Amino acid sequence: MAEQIGILRAFILRSDKVSLTPPPSFGRPLAVPLFRKTIENYVFTKQTVKLDGYTFKNCAFVECSLLTEIGNFEIEQCFLGQTAFLFNSNALRTARLCSLLDWDQSPMLKATIYPNGSVTVKG
């Protein structure tokens, strides 16, 4: 896979036309990380946490700001206490589009909230 990405980069550098969509054989856009690092059982306190590129499992965010730019993250059964959400770039456009939704008519788009108060956001 790394060899294919290297070939694609070399092609883009030599080409006059640049496409944001890679050829179908490469499978994914280059802007999306190929994997996510998992962080488990960690408590974040009073900090800005960049979500993209990570899966958070059983973590707690206390008085934090959670930032996403491309939406490439997962949150599994984490606790959010006095947490702010920050959206930039593509994620900001998506958040603005979602503000138009009737959430009662779009239940598949909602985060899962468990009886113990933890939250899961994944797609």
* Per-residue pLDDT tens digits for 57-84: 999 999 999 999 998 999 999 999 999 9
pLDDT greater than 60 at residue 41: yes
- Three-state DSSP state, 74: strand
Q: What is the pTM of this model?
A: 0.68
Q: What is the rounded CA–CA span in Å between residue 26 and residue 4?
A: 7
Q: What is the rounded CA–CA span in Å between residue 74 and residue 105?
A: 23
Strand ranges for the chain from DSSP E: 37-40, 43-45, 48-50, 54-57, 60-62, 65-68, 73-81, 84-87, 112-113, 119-121
Residue 3 corresponds to which tokens in the numbers above?
A: 């060899």
